[in-house]
Amino acid sequence: MSMFALTNARGETVDINNDKLLSYTPTGLGVQFTNTYSQYETYFKATKSTVTQGQFQINILFGDVESQAYQTFSDFAQFLAYQPLTLTYTTDSGTWYRDGRLNSLTKTEIGGSTVFATDRINESFTIEFINNWYNNKTAEYKSYDPDPNLGQYAKIYSYTYQPYYVYQESSRPSNEKVMSLNNKSQYFGLQSGSPSIITVKGPCSVNPTWTVVQKGNVVATDGFVLTLTDNQKLVVSSYPEDQYARLYNPDGSYVDVSQLQDYTKTNFVQIPEGESTVLFYLDADSDVNITFKEERLLV
C-alpha cells in the first residue's frame, strides 16, 4: 500500500497514489494549538490550550490517460458519497488512521487547472479531521489452567503487535477478572484517556461491572443492571462519535440498554494514558475483551 489510502463508510478502499489517482503536495498532517495566556509583567502563564481542527489537503491527477480522466473523477466522487472517510497514513514509522469528512473537491476542465496545465483533470481535495491519529489496540481475557506446582496461575491477554502474560494470586475470587493495559497515547495534556469498546460475553448471572484503576486510584467505573444468557453479549462504546450500550442476540439483533446503566458510576469508561488495570466482576464463565484507541496528535 502507498503512503495514502482512503476508506469510505461502506468499507471500500481507494489508493490515492497510483497511476489513475496520482496525488502530490499533501498538507495538514501536523498539529496546531490555540493557546491563551495571562500576562504578569514580562511573563506569560498558560491558562488554556485547545487543538485546532485539522484539514488534510492534497492535489490529485485523475486518470492515467486523458480519455479516462472524467470517468476516474466520477468514480472517485461516487466513492466519497459514503461518509465518514478514514485516511490511512503509512510511513517507515508505522501505519496510522484518522477519520474525516469531505470539505471540498474542486472540478475544472482538462488543462484548466490553476496549479499547472496538464492533459488530465488536476484538482484539489480536502477533508476535515474529526478525531486524532489512532490505532486500535485489543486485549482479550482468556482463562488458563492452573499449575498445581505454583502458588499462582496465569491469565493470557492477547494484545495487538503480540500476547503477554499477567499473573494473579490463586486466591482471587473466581468472578473477578483482571486486565493489565498499557496505553501509549499522547494527548499533550489536552485529554485524560482514550475511548474504548468493552464487550462482555455471557453467561453472566450477576450485574456486570468494571473498574479502571491507575496507581492505586479508581479513575473510571461502569456497570449495568442486567444479566446475560450464554449466547448474548453486552457491548459498550465510549467513542464520542458513536457512544452506545447494546445487548446483542445470536442473530445479530440488539436492543439499547443505556437506560439500565448504573448511574452511580462514571459510565462509558476511557482508558488512561500509561499503565492501568481493569477489574471486571462477572461470572466465572464470562469472557470479556477491550478495544481502545491508541491516539496521537502527531505521528
153 SS3 class: strand
Cα-Cα-Cα-Cα dihedral sign, residues 109, 112, 113, 119: positive
pLDDT of 1 reads 55
pLDDT of 171 reads 47
C-alpha angle 233-234-236 in degrees, rounded to nearest 5:
145
Are the C-beta atoms of 274 and 182 separated by less than 8 Å? Answer: yes
pLDDT of 112 reads 63
Integer Cα distance of 13 and 19 in angstroms: 16
Burial class (CB in 10 A: 0-12, 13-18, 19+), 266: middle
pLDDT of 4 reads 96
pLDDT of 174 reads 64
**Each residue's pLDDT tens digit, 95-135:** 999 999 999 999 988 876 555 556 789 999 999 999 999 99
> Helix H segments across the chain?
69-80
Q: Which of 7, 9, 13 is nearest to 82 (CA)?
A: 9
Other CB atoms within a 10 A radius of the CB of residue 116 amount to 8
Please, what's the b/e burial string for 166-199 (b: 16 or more CB within 10 A of its CB; e: otherwise)? eeeeeeeeeeebbbbbebebbeeeebebbbbbbb
Quickly count helices (H) and strands (E) in the chain.
Answer: 1, 22
Round the average pLDDT of the chain to a whole number and report it. 88
pLDDT at residue 194 tops 70: yes
